[in-house]
Amino acid sequence: MKRRVVITGMSAITPIGIGLQKFWTGLLEGRSGIAEIARFDASDYTSKIAGEVKDFDVTSYIDRKEARRMDRFTHFAVAGAVMAVEDAGIKTDGIDPDRAGIILGCGIGGMESLENTARVLHEKGPGRVSPFFVPMMIGNMAGGQAAITLGFKGPNVTLVSACASSTHAIGDAFKTVQRGDAEVMVTGGTEASITPLALAGFCSMKALSTRNDEPQKASRPFDGARDGFVMSEGAGLLVLESLEHAQKRGARIYAEVLGYGATADAHHITAPAPGGEGAARAMRIAISDAGLTIDDVDYINAHGTSTELNDKYETMSIKSVFGNKVPLVSSTKSMTGHLLGAAGGIEMVATAFVVKNDIIPPTINYENPDPECDLDYVPNKPREAIVNYALSNSLGFGGHNATVLIGKYKA
């Protein structure tokens, strides 16, 4: 018998604010977190803008000495895990640690540590490479360090599926609790890849917006003048619990997780399959897994990257699934930029707020209608609407597609 799974805690570390209230308020205000890159000199790059997390003090969550042995992406993960567990009202000494686990998504891992250490090796030789280099760089250390901090001894996995990583992580954490392998799972994603090498790579692919003179208008999903995505960093984490466990401790519930779909395009290393057929299959599987129909879905938090093919094909995939009854759609990437492997985590936090509060954040910078992107994307202003069920889509390089469906909690 499948157990019911609910969201009881969340956290947000984003370019538009740190903390749930700042994040949600920023979305409803249509605030962009995109600006000129400040962490290094990007003057020689074709894209000089990004969504950087500002005013983040890792020592508020991690001992200073330990923090020096972690990459920035791990800082975000550990801080986000602590924040989410606190938001859930969980006392770590009050739960069974063997029944509490962590599944996170991360697309790139410790890129900053890799670049810095490569420089040390080149300039000073192998003897000066830090013994902490490997555990700082490898992607699984976000979940590993979070488990050490929280004392969670249950399943601990890090998933890597490019920009679908976090949504795959949430889906797998949902299934872990649903089938009874854990009572509590911390899940979501983290990313900190705004670095010289990563930026250069995406610039060479011509994947990034070059609207450098108007950073806050650069991320414009579904808009006819879109010219690429904007790199961002941060973390979005959630606490999933079995309903029985949550009820026993009197937990507040944001929403219920109901369905999960995952597919592969098997088409191309970066381009989505024509018509978005892989994304369409993922949505259909998630709806079926939840025991619902297309008529039940009220809102979709789209992957909506602000790239030509993604937005076009995701629109086509939504139309192919829902026909003439397309739900309201918006892309919060218009404000946060693209958090890559952490995108699905922060977008699930946003989607849970939508379901909880019946307010849909807008797709900002929607100014030039595109005849191939012709849905209601809730342009430029938030909208009140009853949202009983919502989907969150994530699509990654390599043809990875993931969709999670959540709904209002009903006792």
Tell me the pLDDT tens digit for each residue of 170-211: 999 999 999 999 999 999 999 999 999 999 999 999 999 999
Is a pLDDT exceeding 90 seen at residue 65? yes
Of 362, 367, 300, which Cα lies nearest the Cα of 335? Answer: 362
Among 186, 219, 248, identify where a domain stops: 248
- Based on the domain organization, do 155 and 224 belong to the same domain? yes
pLDDT for residue 42: 98
Give tens-digit pLDDT for 17-32.
999 999 999 999 999 9
How confident is the model over 144-149, as a mean pLDDT? 96
Q: How many Å separate Cα 280 from the centre of its chain? A: 19
Give the largest Cα separation in the chain, rounded.
64
Is a pLDDT exceeding 90 seen at residue 1? no
Is residue 71 within 8 Å of residue 110, measured between CB atoms? Answer: yes
How confident is the model over 205-231, as a mean pLDDT? 98
- Based on the domain organization, do 51 and 193 belong to the same domain? yes
pLDDT for residue 319: 98
Could you tell me what percent of the chain has a pLDDT over 70? 100
Catalytic residue among 75, 168, 245, 303: 303
Residue 336 and residue 346: Cα distance in Å, rounded? Answer: 9
DSSP string covering 35-94: EE--SS--TTSS--EEB---S--GGGTS-HHHHTTS-HHHHHHHHHHHHHHHHHT--GGG
Strands (E) in 169-314, as ranges, are 184-191, 234-242, 255-264, 299-301
Is a pLDDT exceeding 90 seen at residue 381? yes
Residue 284 and residue 261: Cα distance in Å, rounded? Answer: 7
Residue 406 and residue 411: Cα distance in Å, rounded? Answer: 15
106 part of the active site: no
pLDDT for residue 102: 98
Give the domain extent around 111: 5-248
- Based on the domain organization, do 278 and 172 belong to the same domain? no
Give tens-digit pLDDT for 72-107.
999 999 999 999 999 999 998 889 999 999 999 999
CB atoms within 10 A of CB 389: 22
pLDDT for residue 94: 87
Catalytic residue among 75, 245, 338, 400: 338
pLDDT for residue 152: 98
Q: Is 242 left (phi over 0), alpha (psi -120 to 50) or beta?
A: beta
Among 200, 223, 248, identify where a domain stops: 248
pLDDT for residue 126: 97
Is residue 255 one of the residues assigned to a domain? no
- Based on the domain organization, do 46 and 74 belong to the same domain? yes
- Residue 327 DSSP label: P
pLDDT for residue 109: 95
Give tens-digit pLDDT for 312-368.
999 999 999 999 999 999 999 999 999 999 999 999 999 999 999 999 999 999 999
Is a pLDDT exceeding 90 seen at residue 411? no
What's the CATH code of the domain at 130? 3.40.47.10
Q: What's the total number of domains in the chain?
A: 2
- Based on the domain organization, do 113 and 158 belong to the same domain? yes
Is residue 310 one of the residues assigned to a domain? yes
- Based on the domain organization, do 20 and 167 belong to the same domain? yes
Chain mean pLDDT for the chain:
97
- Based on the domain organization, do 108 and 238 belong to the same domain? yes
Catalytic residue among 163, 168, 203, 245: 163
- Based on the domain organization, do 45 and 96 belong to the same domain? yes
